[in-house]
Amino acid sequence: MKELKITAKIQVCSYNELTFPEKNLTNIAKEAVKRSYSPYSKFQVGAAVLLNNGEMVSGSNQENVAYPSGLCAERTALFYANAQFPDEAVDTIAVAAYTNGDFVEEPISPCGACRQVILEAQNRYNHPVQMILCGKEIVYKVEKITDLLPLSFDSLSK
């Protein structure tokens, strides 16, 4: 029997080790948590998307009393970016989360549905989508979404 081993590269660093543009995007994601509508989970998430033309857009999680109708910050930001700038490749997404009066210690990682949507952006523009996942001090840097979603479904490649 053959075995497939899947590896993912995730760089762990501190906020201070980020480049100036990375810090900037991170700060925009942190700012966006303030615009979260999360009365049910009380977990505020912000996402900031950097497009290839340098444009940056942000989004936050938007909840609904019919729970599944809500949307994560990543998809809110990404769909907004694609709706406004359909011809611009997505370069980087930064994500931050805030709860109980502070940013979370451990970076949060996008849910499965968001990973699938980010993968679509990566394939659509044939451009790797980097992720900057921000904890209070610790930051995870991921070079491409396929590191977080290996063996993904892609009917076009079959």
Active-site residue set = 74
Segment (H or E) for 76: helix 73-84
Q: Please list, in sequence order, all residues whose beta carbon lies within 8 angstroms of the beta carbon of residue 65, skipping any fewer than 6 positions away.
A: 40
Residue span 20-49 as binding mask against ligand THU, x where in contact by CB under 6 A, dash where not:
------------------x--x-x-x----
CA angle centred on 23, ends 86 and 53, rounded to 5°: 25
Task: Pick the piece of the chain touching ligand THU (CB under 6 A) from 21-29, 67-75, 120-128, 134-142.
Answer: 67-75
Cα separation, 24 vs 91, whole angstroms? 14
Looking at residue 18, its amino acid is: L
| CB atoms closer than 10 angstroms to residue 40 | 11
In which residue are the tokens 């991170």 written?
A: 26
Residue whose CB is less far from ligand THU, 52 or 111: 111
Q: Binding to ligand THU by residue 64, rule CB under 6 A? A: no
Among 82, 110, 134, 141, binds ligand THU (CB under 6 A): 110
Per CB under 6 A, residues contacting ligand THU are 38, 41, 43, 45, 61, 63, 70, 72-74, 108, 110-111, 114
